[in-house]
Structure 1
Amino acid sequence: MSFKELTVDQLAKKVVNQDNLFLLDVRNEDAFEDWKVESDSFEHLNKPYFDLMDGVEPIQDQIPEDQDVAVICAKGGSSQFVAEQLVDAGFDNIYSVTGGMKAWSEHLEPVKIGDLEGNGELYQFVRLGKGCLSYMVISDGEAAVIDATRMADTFINFAEEKGAKIKYALDTHLHADHISGGRTIAEKTGATYYLPPKDAEEVQFDYEPIEDGNEIQVGSSKIDVQALYSPGHTIGSTSFIVDEKYLMSGDILFVQSIGRPDLAGKAEDWVGDLRTTLYERYKELSDELIVLPAHFSFKEELNDDGSVQEKLGVLFDENDGLQVEDENEFRKMVTENLPPQPNSHEKIRFTNMGKETPDEEEQREMEIGPNRCAVR
C-alpha cells in the first residue's frame, strides 16, 4: 500500500466544508510560521523535512492513526518522501498534497455570491492560499472580471463553461501583493482592460481609464459596474458598485480591517485620502450594500459557504478600522506598527506596470507568502 495524492482542489473543499484533517507541514519552521494552510478544522504539525530524512521515528507518536493525514511541503517532492515513510511505518490514510504550497497559492475556489438583475450572476474567486479575491459578473453571454489574479486561464475557462465571453477586465487599483491577470485576460480574449488612470501614470501598455462616475454595462440586462473614486490604499483606488447591491471595495475596506497606505511609499501623503474615503465617501453609501473586498487576511472572514462578504452597515458597526473618531489617532494607526510589506511588492508593482516581465516561475516565487494589504 502506498500513500495517496491530495489535490489542492480537494484540500480547498476540506477547508470550505470544515472537514477534519491532520496536516503535517515539512517546510522549515520560519516558512511555516510565516504562511500555512489555515483552517479551524485542521490540526497542524510542523517538522522540517531534513529532520525526517532518516525516518519518521521523531514524530511517530504524534501522528494520529484514526484520521486522514496529509503531508505538505513547498513544491510537492519532499511531502511524497515523508508520506511514503509514514506508510512504511504502518500508517493508513496518508496523503501527499500535490504541488505543495506553490500549488496551494495558485488555487482559485469559485463561489456564487448571488443573482443579479435579469439573468445575471456574480461569482467570487477565493484564492485561499493567498487571500486574494477576484470577481466575475455574467449576463446574457457577456462577462466582466474584476481584480483577476495572474491565473488568467481559470477565469477564461470558467466564463466559457458558463457560455459567456469576457468583454471587460478591470482592476480596482495597481496591485502590489500579487500579479494582475487583467491585462493577460484582455490579450487572450480581446476584452477591454480598465485601470484607474491615477495609478497608471507609469504603465507601459495601452489601457482604458476607469474614473469616478463611469459605468460599464454587462450584457443586455441592466447590470452596471459603476466606478467610485476611493483613494487611500493607492492614489487611484476605485471601488465598483454592481447592480446597486454590491460594493467591490478593492483594498480600501476589508471585513475585519482597512487598507494600508504605504505600499508605494506614500503613507503620510495618502492617509488623509484613506480617511476621507472610509469616513466620508463610504458613509454616503447605503448600509445595505454588500462589501466585496479584493483580499482577506484572517480565516474568520470566511463565511460558511466559503465566501468573503458583509454589509457595509455591519462593518461601520463592527470593523475596528472604522471606529477611530480622532484623526490623529487614525493617522497613527495606519502609518505606525504596520505588518511587514508583501514579499517582492516593488517588483510586483513594476510587473503590473509592464516595466518588468518575469517568467512564470519567477512570478510564482514573487507571490510566495500571505497577502499583507491590510493595516492589521
Structure 2
Amino acid sequence: MSFVAMESKDLAEKIFNKEELFILDVRNEQEFGEWKIEGKNIKHLNVPYFELLDGVEEIKEQIPASKEILVVCAKEGSSVMVSEMLSDAGFEVFYLKGGMKAWSEHMEPVKVGDLNNGGELYQFVRLGKGCLSYMVISNGEAAVIDATRTVEIFTNFASEKGVTIKHALDTHLHADHISGGRAIAEKTGATYWLPPKDAEEVVFEYKALEDGEDIAIGNTTINIHALYSPGHTIGSTSFVVDEKYLMTGDILFIDSIGRPDLAGLAQDWVSDLRETLYNRYRELSEELIVLPAHFMIVEELNEDGSVAKELGTLFSENHGLNIESDEEFRKLVTENLPPQPNSYQEIRQTNMGKSNPEEEKQREMEIGPNRCAVR
C-alpha cells in the first residue's frame, strides 16, 4: 500500500467539513492527554511510537481499514516511521507533515461578513491552538487584530486582497501566544496599538489604545470603537467594528469567560471582570456579533468554520454570564481554572519586548492547548 504526507491546510478542511478521520497519535500519553487534534468526526488511538519499534502487528485490529488514517507525532519523524510500517502491513495511510508543531501554527481565513461601503471582515482560525485573529478591510486598507507571530499569514493575505495594512491592534497583552502585532507594524509601517494599562512594562513604542478611540480604515472610514473592558488583564479593551461586531479579546468567549489570573492578580481583577461582563457589555446592543480572540472546543465553530454568535444569545446561553451571586462568580473565576498556559510568563516577557527568543524556542513556548478561559 502507500503512505503520503497530509498538509495542515488539508486537515483543517476536513475538520471544517466534519469528515470522518481516524488519527493514530504516537506521542507519549501525557502529551496526548494535554493536547490533541479535535474534530466532530475524529476518532483517536494513542500508542507511543516507542511501543511500535518492533512493528504494528499488535495494533492492526484497532485500526479501521474503512476510514482515512492519519498518523501524528510531535515533529513528523516518528509518524513517517509508523506510517511506513502501516503501509507495509496493507493500510493506506497519511502522516501529518510537520507534526503537531506545524498544526499548532496553521491558520485558516474565514470570511465573517461584509461591512458597510464595501468592506470585509475575516477571521483567522488557528485550529491547533484555539487562537482567533482578524483582518478588517476597507477601500484598499486593512487593520489586523490580535495577530499571531506567524506574520506572513497576514501580510500574504493582505497582498492577495490587494490591500495595505495600516494598523495592527492587540486587545490586551497576550499570555498564551506570542503576538505578531508589533512585527507586522515593523514589516509594513503600520501603527501598532496596545492598551496603555497593559503596556506599562513594554520596552518599545506603541500607540495608546484608549476608551473611545476611533481608527479609520480606508476612505469610507470604519470606526473601531475601543471599549475599556478589564478583567482578563487590567488593560483589556474590546472593539465595536462597523456598529455590528464586538471583538471581545479574552474577556468573553462563546462557551466561557476569560480567566483573570495570568498576571497573578486574580483576586484583584475578578471584580473588573464581573463589571465588564455584567454591566459594560449589558449596555451594548444584543444584536452585536461577538468575535472572541480564542475558542475552547471545536464545537464552538459554526457551519462555515467561523467562531461567532450574537451577544444576546450569549447572555442566554453562556453560563459565565448568568451567575447572580458575586461570591459564586468569584469562586468560579478564581478556583475553577485549568492549568496556566505553557511558558506564559516567558510569553508575556516576549510580548513586552523584554525577551526575543529564537524561532524554534518560540514554537516550543506556544505548544499546547488554549487555556485562557474559565472552565
Q: 2:369, 2:252 → 1: CA distance?
A: 18
What SS does structure 2 have at the residue aligned with 1:221?
Answer: coil
Give the corresponding residue for 1:23.
Answer: 23
Give the corresponding residue for 2:123.
Answer: 124
Letter in 2 for 1:267: A
Deviations 1:302-349 (A, max 9, x none): 111111000000000110000001111111111113111001000000
Alignment of 1:4-43 (within 5 A): 4-43=4-43
Shift of residue 269, structure 1, vs aligned partner: 0.6
What SS does structure 2 have at the residue aligned with 1:216?
Answer: coil
Q: 1:140, 1:169 → 2: CA distance?
A: 17
Is the contact between residue 124 and residue 134 of structure 1 (CA under 8 Å) also seen in structure 2? yes
The count of corresponding residues between Structure 1 and Structure 2 is 375
Give the corresponding residue for 1:45.
Answer: 45
Q: 1:129, 1:39 → 2: CA distance?
A: 11
Q: 1:305, 1:273 → 2: CA distance?
A: 34
Give the corresponding residue for 2:284.
Answer: 285
Give the corresponding residue for 2:231.
Answer: 232
Q: 1:267, 1:290 → 2: CA distance?
A: 28
Letter in 2 for 1:31: E
* Gaps in structure 1 of 5+ consecutive residues: none
What SS does structure 2 have at the residue aligned with 1:180?
Answer: coil
Letter in 1 for 2:260: P
Shift of residue 2, structure 1, vs aligned partner: 3.1
Is the contact between residue 2 and residue 91 of structure 2 (CA under 8 Å) also seen in structure 1? no
Letter in 2 for 1:35: W
Please report the TM-score for the alignment, with normalisation by the length of structure 1. Answer: 0.99
Runs of 4+ in structure 1 off by over 4 angstroms are none
What SS does structure 2 have at the residue aligned with 1:145?
Answer: strand
Q: 2:299, 2:8 → 1: CA distance?
A: 20
Alignment of 1:46-125 (within 5 A): 46-92=46-92, 94-125=93-124
Give the corresponding residue for 2:154.
Answer: 155
Letter in 2 for 1:200: A
Deviations 1:224-262 (A, max 9, x none): 111000000000000000000000000000000000000
Give the corresponding residue for 2:176.
Answer: 177
Letter in 2 for 1:160: S
Is the contact between residue 117 and residue 222 of structure 1 (CA under 8 Å) also seen in structure 2? no
Give the corresponding residue for 1:194.
Answer: 193
Q: 1:153, 1:56 → 2: CA distance?
A: 39
Shift of residue 64, structure 1, vs aligned partner: 1.3
Letter in 2 for 1:247: L
Q: 1:91, 1:157 → 2: CA distance?
A: 38
Q: 2:225, 2:336 → 1: CA distance?
A: 35
Please report the TM-score for the alignment, with normalisation by the length of structure 2. Answer: 0.99
Compute the RMSD of aligned alpha carbons.
0.6
Q: 1:165, 1:183 → 2: CA distance?
A: 16
Shift of residue 222, structure 1, vs aligned partner: 3.2
What SS does structure 2 have at the residue aligned with 1:288?
Answer: coil
Provide the identity percentage.
Answer: 69
* Gaps in structure 2 of 5+ consecutive residues: none
Q: 1:240, 1:337 → 2: CA distance?
A: 28
What SS does structure 1 have at the residue aligned with 2:337?
Answer: coil
Letter in 2 for 1:353: M
Is the contact between residue 121 and residue 138 of structure 1 (CA under 8 Å) also seen in structure 2? yes
Deviations 1:159-205 (A, max 9, x none): 01000010000000000000000000000000000000000000010
Is the contact between residue 136 and residue 143 of structure 1 (CA under 8 Å) also seen in structure 2? yes
What SS does structure 2 have at the residue aligned with 1:201?
Answer: coil
Is the contact between residue 278 and residue 322 of structure 1 (CA under 8 Å) also seen in structure 2? yes
Give the corresponding residue for 2:296.
Answer: 297
